[in-house]
Chains A and B, each alone.
Chain A
Amino acid sequence: MPHLRPILLAEDNPNDLELVLTAFQDSQLANEVIVARDGEEALDYLHGRGAYAGKGVPAPAVILLDWKMPRVDGREVLRQVRAHPLLRATPVVILTSSKEEVDLLQGYQLGANAYVVKPVGFEDFITTVGRLGFFWALLNEPPPVSAPPLASAALHQP
Chain B
Amino acid sequence: MVGLGLPLNPTIEKKIAAGYAVAILVLLLTAGAAAWNARQFDHTFKMVEHTHRVLRELEQIVIGVLSMQTATRGFVLTGNEQLLETYRQGTLTVQQSVKQLRQLTLDNAVQQRSLAQLDLALARAQAVQEARIASRRNALPPGESPPILEGQRAVEAVRATVEQMQLEERRLLAERGQGTLGAARSTLTAGLIGCFLAVAFLLLSAFVIGRDVKQRLATEAALRKSEQMFHRVFDSAPDAIVQVDRQGQVVRANRQAESLFGWEPQQLAGQSLAQLLPQRFQARHGGHLAAYFAAPRTRAMGAGLELFGRRKDDSEFPLDIMLSPVETDDGLQALAVIRDITERKAAEEKIRSLNLDLQLQNARLEIANKELESFSYSVSHDLRAPLRHIDGFASLLSKHAAASLDEKSRRFVTVISDSARRMGRLIDDLLTFSRMGRAQMETAQIDVGQLVASVIHEGGLDRDPRIEWAVHPLPTVRADRAMLRQVWFNLIDNAAKYSAHSDPPRIEVGSLPMQPGMGEQVFFVRDNGVGFDMKYAAKLFGVFQRLHTEAEFEGTGIGLANVRRIVTRHGGRTWAESAPGQGATFYFTLPIDPAPLRNAGASSAPFGPA
Contacts and interface: CB of A to CB of B under 8 A. Distances in A.
A123 B387 contact: no
A32 B390 CA distance: 27
B380 interface: yes
A149 interface: no
Contacts of B394: 122
A146 B122 CA distance: 181
A13 B387 CA distance: 13
Nearest to B418: A121
Contacts of B417: 121-122
Contacts of B420: 120
Contacts of A100: 376-377, 380-381
A16 B390 CA distance: 10
Nearest to B394: A122
Contacts of A67: 381
Nearest to A118: B388
B39 interface: no
Contacts of A98: 377, 380-381
Given A13-B385, A16-B385, A22-B396, A122 B380 contact: no
A103 to B, nearest CB: 8
A106 to B, nearest CB: 12
Contacts of A13: 385, 389
Interface string A116-145: 001111110100000000000000000000
A18 to B, nearest CB: 8
B36 to A, nearest CB: 123
A100 B355 CA distance: 35
Interface in B361-407: 376-377, 380-382, 384-385, 387-389, 391-396
Contact of A120 (B382, B387, B393, B396): B387
Contact of B384 (A15, A22, A97, A102): A97
A107 to B, nearest CB: 13
A99 interface: yes
Interface in B144-193: none
A97 B395 contact: no
A73 to B, nearest CB: 12
A96 B381 CA distance: 8
Which of under 10, 10 to 19, 20 to 34, or 35 or more describes the interface residues of A? Answer: 20 to 34
A136 to B, nearest CB: 21
Interface residues of B, number: 23
Contact of A19 (B376, B392, B425): B392
A15 B381 contact: no
Contacts of A123: 395
Nearest to A101: B435
B397 to A, nearest CB: 10
A120 B391 contact: yes
Contacts of A120: 384, 387-388, 391, 420-421, 423-425
Contacts, number: 62
A96 B376 CA distance: 16
Contact of A119 (B388, B395, B423): B388
A37 interface: no
A120 B389 CA distance: 8
Contacts of A5: none
Contacts of B392: 15, 19, 122, 125
Contacts of B385: 13, 15-16, 97, 118
Nearest to B400: A22
A125 B388 contact: yes
Interface in A5-44: 13, 15-16, 19, 22
Contacts of B389: 13, 15-16, 19
Nearest to A123: B395
8 closest cross-chain pairs (CB), A and B: A120-B424, A122-B395, A98-B381, A15-B389, A97-B384, A19-B392, A122-B392, A122-B391
20 contacts: A13-B389, A15-B385, A19-B388, A19-B396, A67-B381, A97-B380, A98-B377, A98-B381, A100-B377, A118-B384, A118-B385, A118-B388, A120-B384, A120-B423, A121-B417, A122-B392, A122-B396, A122-B417, A125-B391, A125-B392
Given A120-B425, A125-B391, 10 more contacts: A13-B389, A15-B385, A16-B389, A22-B396, A97-B381, A99-B428, A118-B388, A121-B417, A122-B396, A122-B417
